[in-house]
Structure 1
């Protein structure tokens, strides 16, 4: 009886000879408990499905269309065309990756590996049975086309929701690529000039300064036009554009025009700052794409350096030509009523969105998001928050609102948030720091600090947009179901 009891309880008994006797089987209760302790839900050596990357994105749980053509190579070619189009229109690496995974899964391919770097997309299809394919695409050109990016986003949503065949997807993507941009070139040039003029008044400049900023922006548009036609690298075209903006301001100041050249230059260079590239680069870095982020940071840094080069060259040439010295530390700003500043922010952001070739339906929402950011900025500054922190907080609210509105409008967050943060950029600080580096040798350290501070503020604004996008994910978790219901209604 004792041996039987020991076997049931798991205790060690003693044989008649005095040696310990092991039970014939382990205690079932203890065995189950130890198994639960040692079990792992996700063993570290077990591969997970790449479709799991879609969790938390608008494309979670894609609906597989069972009627798709089984040709894996054609599906991969379409996925590469889709990724290349998105990259050309300015999408981030995470958005491109999730779109490719969602589309290939919806079209019947689940054994896909996606590798994205700064300029290339590599797809590898390796099913357990059948032929494997590995395809690479290099993206060598970029263009401003936020409207096209929004159309591609809608196409991906429709494919994920089901009911769109691969051939229909190919035809729609080809139609998007061939569709003309929403606004003609002359309207984009006029919008760029209007943005510069509105921003000069917004930061306290005179009406004469606004008119000069408008004219210099029209010249910048012509420089960009011929630089693109002659295939001049972006570094030199941006440097030449900044040079023209600064030289025109210095020239009219030398002619005793009632302007402050620092304010005119600040308004003229804002659209040249690589704000959307900084946002995409920081987003890629946070989301685990270090190579792509490094390439975009380097590209944005070169654009930033080109702006500084153009300003420095114009100031030096102006000094050699006998232009009067500028006082960039004490700038006389004109105080305009608050309601006018609100109108200027909305108008400037809408015109800035036109230069990015955004969709006409997204212009007013973009202006509304910018107004929200401006009101938040005023509230944060009223609480005593410093000028370096307040833009980052306002950018966070812009990123949050941009994601929610983009979900409702079936568009990427970038096309709404990137134009809406332009009024937060420190254009005046950049000009002051460059002038100090060129002419204020005794206070070189202060100029370098100002330049670093301006760059830090730009990075903080980009980080705020990305952080706001992250905060908005719980509010957009049902994006796919909402889009599917919209598709059914159509």
Structure 2
């Protein structure tokens, strides 16, 4: 009887770990983070050295009580992947509670079931409005006027509604990206034909960045860097397909514009004067916070994300104008984001992923993609178009690599701060010098 009870407890523990891992993986967490979280929970609840395997679409966990008994093995399929930072934050909080012994096994199972089955307090139309504000912020960052911001906002609302309908009909994400990019391009072309003050290139670029924000570049590169090549390769293929959908939709819309005789033009970066840089920082802050809002992030994290994104945009522009080029500038800005987000996430009690993904959204390579497609449309500059698309890929890699390197540097600095605290003695001017923990 005792052996049966032990097997039942082990089974429930493994099921809890798999449910936690499933929600983390489906929300964009890297395979290394998912594996480490599952191992921490399993070890804390009494399972030593479980066998955990994480791939792009499934999770498995095995445990052997002894060499004389048959091992236990459980599996779960990841059937849905979506950016949902409310669930991600809730699961992260549950894991902390389990490790702090604030909830036991059965309470944790009840909490994870409630998180998985409950909806959101934020209404869906507010999410759509958030995407509209996000594209307006990107348009402002690109130097667009009020008309451009209005077109970008309208297109964002239409794209979100269209993709929502398509997802409910279970159409693949690739086709959703094609449809969204085509809607953005055709709407911008139509607005340019009716109103001469609308720069369609700015509106299209703003909506390209919106479409890019839903692609998991961060998790894909993190899996590749941490040795999870199967999961990283699958995520990379998904990201490439989604990006290809954007390229197909935009190029189709540009072909329609060419047939209709509407001049699109090529977007050049805005002024980096003090006033221009201030507007770029403001646009970046607005777009990053709006994306976080649309991804169901907690309200307490909006202001820190806006401040970090604005500062990162200033760093990127200053470095680029100093002669380092686009790739190095966004890489250093992403390093700054990864470095500060580790500490900020502790203060606002969210996973660092929530901050870093939202803060890099304004620097996604929508401009390079649009420029590449425009140049490819010119008969004499195909080489320039290919170069621009290659630049877009290098910017995406630089963003992800910079953020991950910042996280690697931030963690040992945090440990050294705790060691310094233990060595300090004597009077302290204001309160105890105490490094905050993840608890």
Is 2:46 aligned against 1:108?
Answer: yes
Name 2:205's counterpart in structure 1. 266
Is 2:224 aligned against 1:285?
Answer: yes
Residue 135 of structure 1 aligns to a residue whose secondary structure is strand
Partner Cα separation in structure 1 for residue 19 and residue 418 of structure 2? 23
Name 2:3's counterpart in structure 1. none
Name 1:55's counterpart in structure 2. none
Q: Deviations over 1:195-227 (max 9, x none)?
A: 111211211112111111111111111101211
Q: 1:204-223 residue pairs with structure 2 within 5 A?
A: 204-223=143-162
Q: Deviations over 1:466-490 (max 9, x none)?
A: 1111111113449999999886xxx
Name 2:405's counterpart in structure 1. 467
Task: Please tell me whether the aligned partners of residues 346 and 436 of structure 2 are also in contact (alpha carbons under 8 angstroms).
Answer: no
Residue 222 of structure 2 aligns to a residue whose secondary structure is helix
Task: Please tell me whether the aligned partners of residues 177 and 246 of structure 2 are also in contact (alpha carbons under 8 angstroms).
Answer: yes
Change (3 A) 1:486 1:400: closer
Task: Please tell me whether the aligned partners of residues 284 and 310 of structure 2 are also in contact (alpha carbons under 8 angstroms).
Answer: yes
Q: 1:391-406 residue pairs with structure 2 within 5 A?
A: 391-406=330-345
| Worse-matched range after superposition: 302-311 or 474-483 | 474-483
Residue 87 of structure 2 aligns to a residue whose secondary structure is helix
Task: Please tell me whether the aligned partners of residues 285 and 310 of structure 2 are also in contact (alpha carbons under 8 angstroms).
Answer: yes
Is 2:140 aligned against 1:235?
Answer: no
Partner Cα separation in structure 1 for residue 313 and residue 85 of structure 2? 23
Q: Find the structure with the greater CA-based Rg.
A: 1
Task: Please tell me whether the aligned partners of residues 147 and 182 of structure 1 are also in contact (alpha carbons under 8 angstroms).
Answer: no
Partner Cα separation in structure 2 for residue 468 and residue 128 of structure 1? 42
How big is the shift at 1:261? 1.1
Residue 323 of structure 2 aligns to a residue whose secondary structure is coil
Residue 393 of structure 1 aligns to a residue whose secondary structure is helix
Q: Which runs of 5+ in 2 are unaligned?
A: 1-5, 420-433
Task: Please tell me whether the aligned partners of residues 270 and 276 of structure 2 are also in contact (alpha carbons under 8 angstroms).
Answer: no
How big is the shift at 1:334? 11
Q: How high is the TM-score relative to the length of structure 2?
A: 0.89
Partner Cα separation in structure 2 for residue 475 and residue 151 of structure 1? 27
Q: How high is the TM-score relative to the length of structure 1?
A: 0.80
Partner Cα separation in structure 2 for residue 161 and residue 460 of structure 1? 36
Match of 1:367 among 294, 306, 311: 306
Name 1:197's counterpart in structure 2. 136
Partner Cα separation in structure 2 for residue 345 and residue 313 of structure 1? 28
Residue 421 of structure 1 aligns to a residue whose secondary structure is helix
Q: Deviations over 1:28-53 (max 9, x none)?
A: xxxxxxxxxxxxxxxxxxxxxxxxxx
Name 1:315's counterpart in structure 2. 254
Match of 2:15 among 66, 77, 81: 77
Q: Deviations over 1:9-42 (max 9, x none)?
A: xxxxxxxxxxxxxxxxxxxxxxxxxxxxxxxxxx
Is 2:106 aligned against 1:149?
Answer: no
Is 2:390 aligned against 1:452?
Answer: yes
Change (3 A) 1:219 1:176: same
Q: Deviations over 1:95-148 (max 9, x none)?
A: 110111011111111130111111111111023354410111110111221121
Task: Please tell me whether the aligned partners of residues 157 and 483 of structure 1 are also in contact (alpha carbons under 8 angstroms).
Answer: no
| Higher relative helix content | 2
Change (3 A) 1:261 1:478: same
How big is the shift at 1:435? 1.9
Q: Which runs of 5+ in 1 are unaligned?
A: 1-67
Residue 59 of structure 2 aligns to a residue whose secondary structure is strand
Q: 1:293-312 residue pairs with structure 2 within 5 A?
A: 293-312=232-251
| Worse-matched range after superposition: 324-333 or 244-253 | 324-333
Residue 293 of structure 1 aligns to a residue whose secondary structure is helix
Partner Cα separation in structure 2 for residue 378 and residue 442 of structure 1? 30
How big is the shift at 1:77? 1.2
